[in-house]
Amino acid sequence: MNSRQQELGDLALRLVQGKLSSAEKQVVQDLILHDPEFLRVLQLEVALAKNFTSVKQPISGSMKSRVYTGVTGSARAGLYMDVFRTVLKKTLPQAAQPAFKLIERSVFANG
Amino acid sequence: MDFEQLYEANVDAVYGYLMFKLNDEQLAEDILQETFLAVHQGMQKNDEISSPKAWLLSIAHNKMVDCLRKRRIVESGLDFEVAADLNENHSNVFLQEALGQLADTERTIVYGLYVEGLTCRELAQILALPEGTVKSKAHYARKHLYHWLQEGSK
């Protein structure tokens, strides 16, 4: 690909992606009307984009909701754990604190 | 944008990217969950992200690389030929063959350009590469694919 082909290829790709600026749209309109080389490159870009549509594997609805629940559920569990820990620390008698620390290490460390 | 909106708008792109790279549903789901969990935990800091999709894909990419390192699979060692065989029910086999002739980074770049409509700048962010490197790899890969298309039409 020489530099002119690269330039035409970049414009054609951005056209396919729908990312042209308004100034570029004018240039592209002109190229489509008057430049057969651009039309050739544009055809290739359109064909590539069409071929690539089959590559993407969509997420299933069940996985989508499972992951969402997993993420928000973990965050909620972390919050409950923090609240629970604070409440226990404040309410347990001083004498029970060493035992609480042992439990905290073994239970909360895995939480 | 709150978490639910961010998730709805981008989960498909992140999952598609992970499946393209890994072709392993279970692993893709695990990394997808890790990605969005990290985002959910740091949600307050994410107000000034210009391209949420590119940002999420870069998190997913890093999580994937970490995960593969832990599993002692080097990214370049992924066997794309095997992935292509497994993918053939879902994908264009001939395109997979053409992609199989590209290096892993080049495949990722053309996937980003044509499937997710990303720019070279966004891809540079995701892959942690200079934008110029992404542009030249993109040109090389597209030239290869142009050639493949032209050969196929003869």
Quickly state the pLDDT bin for B141 (edges 50, 70, 90): very high
Using CB atoms, which residue from B3, B29, B92 is nearest to A67? B29
Query: In this predicted structure, which of A1-10, A42-51, A87-96, B58-67 has the lowest mean pLDDT?
Result: A87-96
Note the pLDDT tens digit of each residue in A31-58: 999 999 999 999 999 999 998 988 889 9
Per-residue model confidence (pLDDT) at position A86: 74
List CB contacts (< 8 A) between B12 and chain A: 58-59
Does residue B86 have a pLDDT over 50? Answer: no
Per-residue model confidence (pLDDT) at position B108: 95
Quickly state the pLDDT bin for B6 (edges 50, 70, 90): very high
Domain ranges of chain A: 3-52, 61-110
Average of pLDDT values for B136-148?
A: 92
Average of pLDDT values for A80-94?
A: 71
Q: How far is CA B151 from the centre of its chain?
A: 27
Does residue A70 have a pLDDT over 60? Answer: yes
Per-residue model confidence (pLDDT) at position B135: 93
Q: Using CA atoms, how far apart are residues A68 and A73, in angstroms rounded to an integer? A: 8
Using CB atoms, which residue from A55, A59, A71 is nearest to B95? A55
The CATH T-level fold of domain B1-78 is Rna Polymerase Sigma Factor; Chain: A (1.10.1740)
In this prediction, what percent of chain A has a pLDDT beyond 70? 79
Instruction: Give the N- to C-terminal CA distance of chain A in Å, as an integer.
Output: 56
Question: Most B CBs within 10 Å: which of A55, A64, A72, as the mutation test of the B interface?
Answer: A55
The CATH T-level fold of domain B92-154 is Arc Repressor Mutant, subunit A (1.10.10)
Note the pLDDT tens digit of each residue in B35-63: 999 998 876 666 677 889 999 999 999 99
Domain ranges of chain B: 1-78, 92-154
Average pLDDT, chain B: 85
Does residue B27 have a pLDDT over 90? Answer: yes
| Residues on chain A bordering chain B, Cβ-to-Cβ distance under 8 angstroms | 1, 6, 9, 13, 16-19, 41, 44, 47-49, 51-59, 63-64, 66-68, 70-72, 74-75
Tell me if B1-78 shares its fold with B92-154.
Answer: no
Q: Which stretches within chain A are classed as H helix? A: 3-17, 22-34, 36-52, 61-91, 97-107
Using CB atoms, which residue from A55, A67, A71 is nearest to B111? A55
Does residue B82 have a pLDDT over 50? Answer: no
Quickly state the pLDDT bin for B78 (edges 50, 70, 90): low
ipTM, two decimals, is 0.77
Per-residue model confidence (pLDDT) at position A107: 59
Tell me how crowded residue A77 is: count the other CB atoms within 10 A of its CB.
11
Does residue A76 have a pLDDT over 80? Answer: no
Per-residue model confidence (pLDDT) at position A104: 66
Residues A45/A72, Cβ–Cβ less than 8 Å: no
Residues B93/B152, Cβ–Cβ less than 8 Å: no
- Cα separations (Å) of B115 from A9, A54, B9? 17, 9, 15
